[in-house]
């Protein structure tokens, strides 16, 4: 008799009429299978109920720190041929790694007798002592003394150098005037001027020596006072590296063929060479590992966000998300070996069978209407794009052709330069932001403010390219003006006027909770899938690069 695994959850809803998918979910770009959706709904019902553990997801607006979580479900078949599912959360929840019927982590770093917690406790003590030393008044005085004396040194040297420049000019002037005197008198004056020059150079030399010796004494005093802090910082760095290496050594991942690989070996051949922090703690690897260890056959995967949105990345309550590229892609690429997986849709040429409409052209430039799901420039695997099509259409063009880009999923107006002169001129207009552009979009919800400006700096998500993050520390300025056109059937038609031109700017500014908090309909990165991304570059105004005439073009959106 087969004993049912406590993490295996039978479906509450009848699934007898549903067919099992023939291939496993491609985790990096997918629409959840119906079984996966039902499993997610049942897990969400559980999370909405009375729990015997406590975690503030930000839904009930509790006073404690709100932390939303990514959850995953894996539909599986057990040894008794029963269909059910297993569940997991990313990272830790309610302060622990192991909780209820969720599958356990690959390695539980939070066990009381484990090396990690002991190391963390030591790091905590080191950090506390470093903070105390940072607050020490004697150290503060010594550090300020070094800064103040260094500034005085620079100021006095600067002042003396300025005087030396003026005196050099005066000496030159005196020599010129002395040429009208007798040779003996000229020689006497010239000798004295040379002595004055040497005296000033020696004064500068002595000034350098005086301050260097004085500052060195101050630095030594500071060094003596901060020796313990320096030692603690070095110890902290070394201990952190040891703990990280220790964690990496504990993580090993199975695949469907039963082959095991360590985390370090999986990331060895990646561009970064070493695993990023928290690699292996996401839901998908935990689910697959548990399935392989417990003879559960993986059938379908789905992951969703539960709770308050994070401050930087765009995650919406109950929305489905693909596995991340930076942490999960190398791991899952190994773990999926031996499973028959859905084809990667990102390898399929979305432009096949589509044509590019020429809105206007002359001997210098062309205005095109790019279809949605059409690359502007070649991708890693797909070469069919606006650039390749234009290169074929205009074989004698002397310019680089592409002046600016649109996201693959965005349709609308693009400028094509046929000559280098036209390209350079148009590029300068873009750099000076003198070109006016307008986009129309359909948002998947209602925006109340009729007009406004969104100002949220952006940078790439290093762990999940090409997604963008809102980042006030390292992000580049990104500003968008908007104007609502109409609200109909729970959707908002809107005009966007980008002031800057960052990657995914309009999509992030629409979806982020500090922006409009309403994703563009069909945005599969920052919102929900639909038949297309409802974003269209409908208008452009610029100075013709040759005639200098102000020209305007518009193309109506197909939605």
Q: 212: buried, middle or exposed (CB in 10 Å: 19+, 13-18, 0-12)?
A: exposed
- We report the CATH number of the domain holding residue 448 as 3.30.2350.10
Q: Are residues 193 and 276 in the same domain?
A: no
Q: Are residues 311 and 439 in the same domain?
A: no
Last residue of a domain, one of 345, 367, 400: 345
Q: Are residues 410 and 531 in the same domain?
A: yes
Q: Are residues 360 and 507 in the same domain?
A: yes
Last residue of a domain, one of 303, 327, 345: 345
Q: Are residues 440 and 361 in the same domain?
A: yes
Q: Are residues 221 and 259 in the same domain?
A: no
> Which tokens is 6 given?
């406590």
Cβ atoms of residues 418 and 401 within 8 Å:
yes
Instruction: Map tokens 């503060």 to a residue.
Output: 140
Q: Where are the alpha helices (DSSP H) in 416-496?
A: 420-431
Number of domains forming the structure of the chain: 3
Mean pLDDT of 498-524: 96
Q: Are residues 102 and 143 in the same domain?
A: no
Q: What is the pLDDT of residues 428-468, one digit of tens each?
A: 999 999 999 999 999 999 999 999 999 999 999 988 989 99
Q: What is the pLDDT of residues 185-221, one digit of tens each?
A: 999 999 999 999 999 999 999 999 999 999 999 999 9
Q: Are residues 176 and 64 in the same domain?
A: no
Say what the pTM is.
0.79
Q: Are residues 547 and 421 in the same domain?
A: yes
How far does Cα 53 stand from its chain's mean position? 32
Q: Is residue 429 part of a domain?
A: yes
Q: Is residue 308 part of a domain?
A: yes
Residues ≥6 apart with Cβ < 8 Å to 505: 458, 468, 478, 480, 498
Last residue of a domain, one of 219, 247, 275: 247
Residues ≥6 apart with Cβ < 8 Å to 57: 47, 66, 67, 68, 69, 306, 307, 308
Domain span at residue 477 reads: 349-554
Q: Are residues 323 and 361 in the same domain?
A: no
Q: Are residues 15 and 68 in the same domain?
A: yes
Query: What SS3 state is found at 35?
Result: helix
Q: What is the pLDDT of residues 13-31, one digit of tens each?
A: 999 999 999 999 999 999 9
Phi-psi region of 61 (alpha: psi -120 to 50; beta: other; left: phi over 0): left
Mean pLDDT of 231-250: 90
Report the alpha-carbon distance of residue 127 to residue 87 in Å, rounded. 36
Residues ≥6 apart with Cβ < 8 Å to 121: none
Is the pLDDT at 3 greater than 70? The verdict is: no
Q: What is the pLDDT of residues 300-349, one digit of tens each?
A: 999 999 999 999 999 999 999 999 999 999 999 999 999 999 999 888 99
Instruction: Map tokens 């599969």 to a residue.
Output: 524
Q: Is residue 114 part of a domain?
A: no
Is the pLDDT at 502 greater than 50? The verdict is: yes
Q: Are residues 77 and 162 in the same domain?
A: no
Report, as residue numbers or ranges, the catalytic residues: 407
């Amino acid at each position: 008799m087969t004993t049912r695994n406590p993490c295996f959850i039978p479906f509450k809803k009848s699934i007898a009429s549903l067919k099992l998918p023939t291939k496993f979910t491609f985790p990096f770009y997918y629409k959840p299978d119906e079984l996966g959706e039902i499993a997610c709904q049942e897990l969400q019902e559980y999370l909405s109920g009375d729990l015997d553990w406590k975690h503030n997801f930000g839904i009930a607006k509790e006073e404690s720190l709100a932390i939303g979580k990514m959850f995953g479900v894996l539909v599986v078949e057990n040894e008794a041929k029963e269909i059910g599912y297993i569940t997991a959360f990313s990272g830790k929840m309610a302060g622990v790694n192991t909780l209820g019927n969720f599958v356990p982590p690959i390695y539980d770093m939070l066990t009381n007798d484990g090396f990690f917690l002991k190391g963390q406790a030591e790091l905590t003590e080191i950090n506390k002592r470093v903070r105390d030393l940072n607050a020490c008044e004697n150290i503060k005085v010594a550090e300020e003394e070094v800064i103040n004396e260094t500034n005085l040194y620079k100021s006095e040297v600067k002042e003396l150098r300025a005087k030396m420049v003026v005196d050099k000019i005066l000496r030159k002037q005196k020599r010129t005037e002395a040429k009208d005197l007798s040779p003996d008198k000229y020689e006497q004056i010239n000798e004295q001027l040379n002595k004055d020059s040497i005296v000033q150079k020696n004064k500068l030399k002595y000034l350098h020596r005086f301050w260097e010796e004085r500052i060195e004494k101050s630095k030594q005093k500071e060094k003596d006072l901060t020796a313990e802090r320096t030692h603690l910082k070095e110890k902290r760095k070394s201990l952190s590296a040891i703990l990280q290496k220790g964690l990496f050594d504990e993580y090993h991942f199975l695949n469907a063929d039963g082959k095991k690989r360590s985390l370090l070996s999986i990331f060895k051949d990646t561009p970064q060479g070493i695993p990023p922090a928290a690699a292996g703690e996401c839901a998908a690897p935990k689910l697959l590992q548990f399935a392989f260890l417990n003879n559960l056959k993986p059938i379908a995967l789905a992951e969703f966000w539960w709770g308050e949105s994070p401050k930087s990345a765009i995650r919406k309550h109950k929305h489905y998300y693909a596995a991340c590229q930076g942490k999960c892609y190398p791991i899952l690429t190994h773990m999926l070996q031996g499973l028959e997986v859905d084809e990667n849709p990102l390898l399929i040429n979305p432009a096949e069978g589509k044509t590019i409409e020429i809105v206007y052209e002359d001997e210098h430039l062309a205005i095109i209407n790019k279809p949605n799901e059409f690359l502007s420039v070649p991708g890693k695997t797909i070469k069919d794009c606006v650039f390749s099509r234009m290169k074929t259409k205009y074989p004698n063009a002397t310019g680089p052709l592409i002046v600016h880009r649109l996201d693959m999923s965005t349709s609308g107006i693009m400028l094509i330069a046929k000559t280098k002169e036209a390209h350079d001129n148009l590029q300068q207009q873009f750099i000076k932001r003198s070109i006016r552009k307008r986009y129309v979009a359909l948002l998947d919800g209602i925006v109340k403010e009729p007009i406004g400006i969104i100002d949220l700096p952006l940078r790439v998500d290093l762990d999940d390219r090409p997604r963008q993050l809102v980042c006030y520390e390292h992000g580049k300025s990104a500003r968008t003006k908007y104007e609502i056109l109409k609200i109909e059937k729970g959707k908002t038609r809107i005009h966007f006027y980008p002031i800057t031109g960052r990657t995914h700017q309009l999509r992030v500014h629409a979806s982020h909770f500090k922006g409009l908090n309403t994703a563009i309909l069909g945005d599969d990165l920052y919102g929900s899938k639909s038949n297309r991304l409802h974003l269209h570059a409908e208008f452009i105004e610029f100075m013709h690069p040759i005639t200098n005439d102000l020209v305007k073009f518009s193309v109506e959106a197909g939605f």
